[in-house]
Amino acid sequence: MTLARTWSAGLTGVQGAMVEVEVDLAAGVPQVVLVGLPDAVVRQSVDRVRAAVVNAGARFPQRRITIGLSPASMPKQGSGFDLALAAAVLAASGVVPGEAVDRLVLLGELGLDGAVRGIRGVLPSVLAAASAGHRHVVVPAANADEAALVDRVEVLAAATLRQLIDHLTGRERLSRHRRGPAPPAPPSADLADVVGQRAGRRAIEVAAAGGHHLLLAGPPGAGKTMLAERLPGLLPPLDEQAALEVTAIHSIAGTLPPGAPLVTRPVLEAPHHSATMAALVGGGSGQIRPGALCRAHRGVLFLDEAPEFPRAVLDTLRQPLERGRVTIHRAAGTATFPCRAQLVLAANPCPCATAAGETACTCSPLERRRYQARLSGPLLDRIDLRVDLPPVTRAAWLDGVAAPESTAVVAARVSAARAAAAARLAGTGYLLNSEVPGRSLRERWAVPRSALRLAERALERGALSARGLDRVLRVAWTLADLSGRTVPGGDEVAEALGMRLQRAAA
């Protein structure tokens, strides 16, 4: 047989795409021609495959070899096609039966010694194979647990190319891989560690209950970072669909935790303030990779020292925060990633950031205004909660009036509030108050006009924008859910308004 085909999978954004691998052997000067828009890594796979086949004890054909990757119009990137190329070449040369690889999907990178190495993006690739009707997938042993998350396919784990050849020829079959029990989740930071800061604790509880964005401002040592790092612990575990979405993103990014193929808890992404635009939202010169915002999908994106980030980088968050997804355009194509994350910003009041308070500040009023202006108005307008944290007092730190509530206690209230919101929003496609559009807030779930007097006055004097009023209403509904009320009243609207205007007034 001089013509053989098998299957592999490529990636377009967070989705897998099936790729048909065809190999034709013809008479002529020995050479390998690879077609189908391969990138440099795919073109180099010819040398890896040749060495791996020889070192696996098989013979690489000394003929003119044409390898086609279809669909030809889709760019092929990465080393995940190595195993499929090797299997197709071996089938075309008669080393393995052609019918054994005709419907088989193969994923994996080959080492020169024939070892099958792990790759990124196995989960979305296996999901694409299952959707296309394939029932058998061969993956590297390092990615077997991740691939086994898809129940509709039989996952075969291969550690070497020799094992795959023995399986295809019937000498020693590969057994179906079964995913083992998930390891216990590492303990998370507890909210009981935070001393004082009643307003900050209330803010992250409201943010967790409604999925709202949050700005924490205050001097060093006030607890901004501690509060932000404890927000993911207040969020409920991910459901099955969300867990697969988040796992697929981290699989593509290569950030899956070792030994834990399925991400079941909301994650915290905290990039350094030197992060570039591509690092924050995604990009890259070759394969488009998700950035920190996308990796924080269904979790928390925490930007500590937010004014130290370049303003242009921060402003790229504005549209993705509204739409819940980011589309990255490159000359070779586009990629869309989900990014429905909660944004938490932390900021010092001024450049000198002294812990002694404003009395010891050496910054001029102009320097303070310039520093705070690094967070643009349009970005701040998308932040629902803005809280100023005062320095921790001596009494709270040393005397300790009462033991603070733990994460478990607050998370129970958050879960109850989210359940109330889900029941009210059932059938609408929305899950959280932060997702409800403004028109629905004003028509379907209208707040009594008597409760909106303070908010209307703020809108009239220009302290609130129209978008800001909608966000105040969303927070008011979250506060009502936390308190067990069916409709927000004047107290909830006033508290929501205070949380939004506190930073502006400061």
pLDDT band (50, 70, 90) for residue 506: very low
> What confidence score (pLDDT) does residue 56 get?
95
pLDDT band (50, 70, 90) for residue 80: very high
Tokens of 492: 């909830």
Q: What are phi and psi of 117, to 5 degrees?
A: -105, 155
Least confident range from 115-124, 209-218, 279-288: namely 279-288
d(CA 53, CA 326): 41
Tokens of 381: 């307008």
Query: Which amino acid type is present at position 307?
Result: P
> What confidence score (pLDDT) does residue 399 get?
53
> What confidence score (pLDDT) does residue 357 get?
59
Residues 6+ apart with CB under 8 A from 415: 236
Where are the domains positioned within the chain? 3-169, 191-201+211-404
Least confident range from 31-40, 184-193, 254-263, 496-505: namely 496-505
What's the mean pLDDT when you consider all of the chain?
A: 90
Name the burial class of residue 358, with classes exposed (0-12), middle (13-18) and buried (19+) by CB atoms within 10 angstroms of its CB: exposed
67 within 8 A of 22, measured Cβ to Cβ: yes
> What confidence score (pLDDT) does residue 504 get?
45
d(CA 387, CA 72): 53
> What confidence score (pLDDT) does residue 415 get?
96
Least confident range from 153-167, 174-188, 299-313, 410-424: namely 174-188
Q: What angle do CA 81, 85, 90 make, to 5 degrees?
A: 155
> What confidence score (pLDDT) does residue 502 get?
65
pLDDT cut 90: percent of the chain above it = 65
17 within 8 A of 128, measured Cβ to Cβ: yes
Characterize the bridge pairing of strands 342-347 and 289-290. Answer: unpaired
d(CA 229, CA 407): 12
Assess if CATH 1.10.287.110 describes domain 3-169. Answer: no
pLDDT band (50, 70, 90) for residue 81: very high
What does the buried/exposed string (b/e) look like for 144-154 if buried means 16 or more CB atoms within 10 Å of the residue's CB? Answer: bbbbbbbeebe
From 15, 489, 57, 68, select the one nearest 288 (Cα to Cα). 15
> What confidence score (pLDDT) does residue 505 get?
42
Q: 191-201+211-404 belongs to which homologous superfamily?
A: P-loop containing nucleotide triphosphate hydrolases (3.40.50.300)
Taking only the tens place, the pLDDT of each residue in 120-156 is 999 999 999 999 999 999 999 999 999 999 989 999 9
pLDDT over 60 (residue 398): no
pLDDT over 90 (residue 31): yes
Order of strands, sheet of 342-347, starting from the edge strand that comes earlier in the sequence: 268-269, 300-303, 342-347, 214-217, 385-388
Count of CB atoms situated within 10 Å of the CB of 28: 9
Average pLDDT over residues 106-128: 96
Measured in whole angstroms, the distance separating CA 234 from the mean position of its chain's CA atoms is 18
Q: What angle do CA 306, 311, 313 make, to 5 degrees?
A: 90
Taking only the tens place, the pLDDT of each residue in 226-265 is 999 999 999 999 999 999 999 999 999 988 887 778 899 9
